[in-house]
Structure 1
Amino acid sequence: MYIPKYYKVTDADEIREFVQKTSFGTMVTTKQGKPIATHLPLSFSKKEEDYYITGHMAYGNPQWRTFETCEEVLVMYQGPHAYISSSWYEHENVPTWNYQAVHVYGTASILTEEELQQELTMMLQKYEKHRENPVLWEKLSPQVLEKEMKGIVGFKIKVKEIQAAYKLSQNRNEKDYLNIVDKLHEEEDINSHQMGKVMEKRLKS
């Protein structure tokens, strides 16, 4: 990923927090030179000294069969993004677009049935435990679990490299920066509001 120096993020803790919070990524592999992409809920965790991305996809999805032939897979995470009008600057300039993006490169392999069960158990726990009637692994019937397990393939990606870019108007002066934040909150687009909050948080950090 091309990352100008203003926007490069190197803080490992900040990147991990972003990936864990975003939790939904696009996995890209290739088959005979053609890119294949799948959009998936994913988990990010550390085991001993290595980091892993884990998840699952439909058995009918041909992408998991490319794991053996791909030296590396790419997983892309994207945060809020927003159009930035140059009319918000003190001086003449051109419009641009602010965004947050993290690219993770690694090697993928298939989970065992036991590993897949652990992955699904943790995912349900993460997204269901706070609900009034949580749908947890131990509450589902063996018949339902057996049927659903047959229809999916679990995978893990051993992380080799992470690249992160946060384009948040860091190259603008303070007055322009604050005005951009105000203008983003005035927009009707929800992504603009979220970007405004991200930029506000950056001021406080």
Structure 2
Amino acid sequence: MYQPPHFREDSLAVQHALMRAHPLGLLVTLGGSGIVANPLPFVLDAQASPKGTLKAHLSRANTQWQDFDPSQEALVVFQGPEAYITPSWYAAKREHGKVVPTWNYAIVQAYGRMRVIDDPSWLLQQIAAMTDVQEAAQPEPWAVDDAPAPFVAAQLKGIVGVEIEITRIEGKWKVSQNRSEADRLGVAAGLRLAQDETSRHMADLVDSRGARSGD
């Protein structure tokens, strides 16, 4: 993706943190029917390979697992916080008016060859790992083995696993680093007025990345 230096995020730890916080990735592959994209919840195994390995599953009825070209890279896009930025928040608007709207966002794109896994044991492990992470915040976490074993076995027959060892990864945090300190303060204040969690998160990113820029 387009990567101006001031928006680039190369820290693998930071990239992985966004992927875990926003695990619903968009799986994009190229195959006989062209480009195919499906949103899937991924589990990141950071220890399985140098840049991490992504694990997910597809419905057996979803032809993406059959159609993709294994010689081509697959792409998984993880979208983090995003927000529209109005020029009205910029101090520069009041100074000279030479401002335009933009969009702030944090995003990670992970690439690698996709492997299809049709193994009930692997699938059970993947589903259990994904469930445990997502259920952790629940007052009474549900676990896969809470369901009857024959029922779970039947469900596993309807899916196939996919695994992608990440061979290259790109992060982009476009959070007003290219604006002056006064403009960034205005953006952060404006975002906090929205009073929703995503806007507050973006405001925090604007504040923290502005401090790092040394402006």
TM-score when normalising by structure 1: 0.90
1:196 Cα shift?
Answer: 1.6
Matching residue of 2:145: 138
88 and 74 in structure 1: CA distance in 2 versus 1, 3 angstrom threshold: same
Shift of 1:201: 4.3
Secondary structure, in 3 states, of the residue corresponding to 1:195?
helix
Post-superposition offset of 1:67: 3.9
How many angstroms apart in 2 are the aligned matches of 1:101 and 1:191?
14
1:95 is matched with 101
Deviates more, 1:134-143 or 1:70-79: 134-143
Q: Which amino acid aligns with 2:85?
A: I
- Deviation of residue 33 (structure 1)? 6.0
* Conserved? CA contact 1:83–1:192, under 8 Å: no
Task: State whether residues 68 and 109 of structure 1, in contact with CA within 8 Å, keep that contact through their aligned partners in structure 2.
Answer: no
Could you tell me which of 115, 120, 129 is aligned with 1:109? 115
2:4 corresponds to which residue?
Answer: 4
- Secondary structure of 1:94 counterpart: coil
**Shift >4 Å, 4+ stretches:** none
Q: 1:35 aligns to what?
A: 35
- State the Cα distance separating 1:128 from its structure 2 match: 2.2
| Distance verdict in 2 for CA 1:11–1:97, change over 3 Å | same
Q: Give the CA deviation at 1:45.
A: 1.1
Query: CA contact under 8 A between 1:67 and 1:109: conserved in structure 2?
Result: no
Shift, 1:32, TM fit = 2.7
2:43/2:55 contact within 8 Å kept = yes
1:133 to partner: Cα distance = 3.3
Taking the aligned partners of 1:9 and 1:143, their CA distance within structure 2 comes to: 45
Q: Cα offset for 1:188?
A: 6.5
Q: CA deviation at 1:64?
A: 0.9
- Deviation (angstroms), 1:97: 0.8
Distance 1:30 1:19, change over 3 A: same
From 171, 174, 181, the counterpart of 2:188: 181
TM-score (norm 2): 0.86
Which residue number in structure 2 is paired with residue 65 of structure 1? 66
Cα distance 1:187–1:132, how it changes in 2: closer, same or farther (>3 A)?
A: closer
Separation (CA, whole Å) in 2 of partners of 1:127 and 1:39:
16
Please give the alpha-carbon distance, in whole angstroms, between the structure 2 residues aligned to 1:134 and 1:204. 39
Number of residue pairs the alignment of both structures matches: 205
Q: Distance in 2 between the 1:70 and 1:109 partners?
A: 10
Matches within 5 A, 1:124-203: 124-187=131-194, 191-202=198-209
Q: Distance in 1 between matches of 2:62 and 2:48?
A: 31
Is 1:18 the counterpart of 2:25? The answer is no
* Aligned-residue CA RMSD (Å): 2.0
Letter in 1 for 2:101: P
Closer/same/farther in 2, CA of residues 121 and 178 from structure 1, 3 Å limit: same
- 8 Å Cα contact 2:42-2:54 kept in structure 1: yes
